[in-house]
Amino acid sequence: MIHKFTNKLIDETSPYLLQHAHNPVEWFAWGTEAFEKAKKEDKPILVSIGYAACHWCHVMERESFEDEKTAAFMNKFFVNIKIDREERPDVDHIYMQACQVLTGGGGWPLNMFLTQELKPFTGGTYFPPKPSYGKPSWMDVLIYVYETFEKQRDTVEQQAEKMLEYLGRMDNALIKIENIQHTGNKIVSENEIADIHKALKSFFDTDEGGFGNAPKFPSAMTLKYLLRKNFYSTDKEETDHIHLSLYKMIYGGIYDQLEGGFARYSVDRKWIVPHFEKMLYDNALLVQIYGEAYMVSGDEEYKRIVDETLQFVMKEMMTNDGGFYSSYDADSEGVEGKFYTWSKEEIEKILIDDAAWFCKVFNVVESGNWEHTNILYRNVERN
């Protein structure tokens, strides 16, 4: 295939970077060449971070990074760097922290603007091509950052220095505890633990499980912490919430009812509509929590989920030489969740006489339960 554009990412090995090798944006990989170009041409740096299976990374690429007018502006006024977060988690961690400080949230694609010394001064995640979702357009962001960098350089430098200092304090807070085993001091007091649990309870969704509102992540490590704590010191409210959360997830669309395995998160509060990519690390963490929940409760449903999830991982995410793929793409053949959704007609053709009960169990309807198609989920509640 003949491509109109080819940039420096064509020489990379990362699948994510290669996805952007034919964008009209003049992408660089993270490295000295890009850094020196920014200093020589006195330009701010755009660092755009994502991964191969990320749906919104694909969306932003189609909407903005493949648009020639947008790319021309980026090429003229910025040095543009693409990073695969699975290849460089160290770089991703730094700039994700900065994004969370600036915006109160994070995610991918992560788009951060840096000084020529690689210090972040502003940024965010996904930006649409036109103002929507309560966000400015990507072009509006680019124009604002460029004009601010040109006309208010001192402000930009001050913001970057403050950000660097703040990130440094965050890192230092994690390493100040010294000689704990020698002094006998506790890491946290009983009162502090009580405060932690009070804070966690304030985020319990007592109707649908999990924490907070949509979008809703499995929060496997938090659930595992609560499960282990309650093994030694039972709090009925916490115990009930652990099992409510685990059951809501395995009956929801976030769990693949046919093939096994969990999607990365749920778009809605009720765990019905998944963000369809499947991550290896999410499934590893969830196998642990369901396995430990089975050890504590003896609930066979938890054992089933562990078995099915591990079977999925070995079948679909394990390489022939014993390695593992890190993720499953949210998009299939250019369509979000194509292989995870079904029309009622498709199911009736495949299952014939068994279609009626299947549709009843998995909430399949003629009009579709999501964007004119059906995500499979169950209504069964835990006894």
Q: Are residues 141 and 211 in the same domain?
A: no
The tens digit of pLDDT for each residue in 121-137 reads 999 999 999 998 889 99
Give yes or no: residues 111 and 219 share one domain. no
Do 114 and 196 have their domain in common?
no
Looking at the structure, tell me whether residues 246 and 284 fall in a common domain: yes
**Residue 83 — very low, low, confident or very high, per pLDDT cuts 50/70/90?**
very high
Quick one: pLDDT band at residue 191, thresholds 50, 70, 90?
confident
Q: Where on the phi/psi map is residue 201: left (φ > 0), alpha (ψ -120 to 50), or beta?
A: alpha
> Does 289 score more than 70 pLDDT?
yes
Considering the domain architecture, whether residues 46 and 78 belong to the same structural domain is answered as yes
Residue 3 lies in a domain: no
Please give the share of the chain, as a percent, with pLDDT higher than 70.
94
Does residue 182 lie in a domain region?
no
Q: Is the dihedral of CA 230, 236, 242, 243 positive or negative?
A: positive
| Residue at 162 is within a domain | yes
Do 155 and 276 sit in the same domain of this protein?
no
State how beta strands 265-266 and 274-275 pair.
Answer: antiparallel
Order of strands across the sheet that contains 110-114: 27-29, 79-84, 45-50, 110-114, 120-124
Confidence bin at 164 (pLDDT 50/70/90): confident
Q: Is the pLDDT of residue 184 over 90?
A: no
340 and 250 within one domain? yes
Tell me, yes or no, whether 184 lies in a domain. Answer: no
Q: Look at residue 261 and tell me if it is in a domain.
A: yes
Residue 332: both structure tokens together:
């299939």
Range of the domain at 328: 190-375
Q: Are residues 202 and 155 in the same domain?
A: no
Residue 186 binned pLDDT confidence (cut-offs 50, 70, 90): low
As for how many domains the chain has, the answer is 2
- Are 112 and 81 contacting, i.e. CB atoms less than 8 angstroms apart? no
Model confidence at 105, pLDDT cuts 50, 70, 90, reads confident
Does residue 267 share a domain with residue 313?
Answer: yes
Which of these three, 173, 207, 224, is where a domain ends?
173
User: What is the pLDDT confidence band of residue 308, given thresholds at 50, 70 and 90?
Assistant: very high
Residue 380 falls within a domain, yes or no? no
pLDDT score at 177: 47
- Decide if 119 contacts 160 (C-beta within 8 A): yes
Residue 28, C-beta contacts closer than 8 angstroms, at least 6 positions apart: 7, 8, 9, 34, 37, 79, 80, 81, 82
Q: Do 302 and 288 touch, CB atoms closer than 8 A?
A: no
SS3 assignment, position 62: helix
Q: Which pLDDT belongs to residue 295?
A: 96
pLDDT for 18 equals 96
357-368 pLDDT tens trace: 999 999 999 999
Task: Note the pLDDT tens digit of each residue in 244-287.
Answer: 999 999 999 999 999 999 999 999 999 999 989 999 999 999 99
- pLDDT of 166 reads 84
In a shared domain, residues 120 and 213: no
128, 148, 173: which is the final residue of a domain? 173
Please state, in angstroms and as integers, the Cα–Cα distance from residue 254 to each residue in 32, 101, 219, 268, following that order: 41, 29, 13, 10
Residues 77 and 205 in one domain: no
Is residue 102, in this structure, part of any structural domain at all? yes
Mean pLDDT over 195-206 rounds to 92
State yes or no: pLDDT of 193 exceeds 90: no
- Of 25-34, 186-195, 204-213, the one with minimum mean pLDDT is 186-195
pLDDT of 106: 87
Q: Give the pTM.
A: 0.76
Find tokens 């007592």 and name the residue.
206
**Maximal CA-CA distance, the chain:** 72
Same domain, 68 and 160: yes
**Mode of pairing for the β-strands spanning 79-84 and 45-50:** parallel
| CATH number of the domain that residue 109 is part of | 3.40.30.10
293 in a structural domain: yes
Question: What 3-state class would DSSP assign to 197?
Answer: helix
* CATH for 338: 1.50.10.10
Give the end of a domain, one of 112, 141, 173.
173
Q: What is the pLDDT of residues 309-351, one digit of tens each?
A: 999 999 999 999 999 998 888 888 878 888 999 999 999 999 9
Kindly tell me the burial class for residue 278, based on how many C-beta atoms sit within 10 Å of its own C-beta (0-12, 13-18, 19 or more).
buried
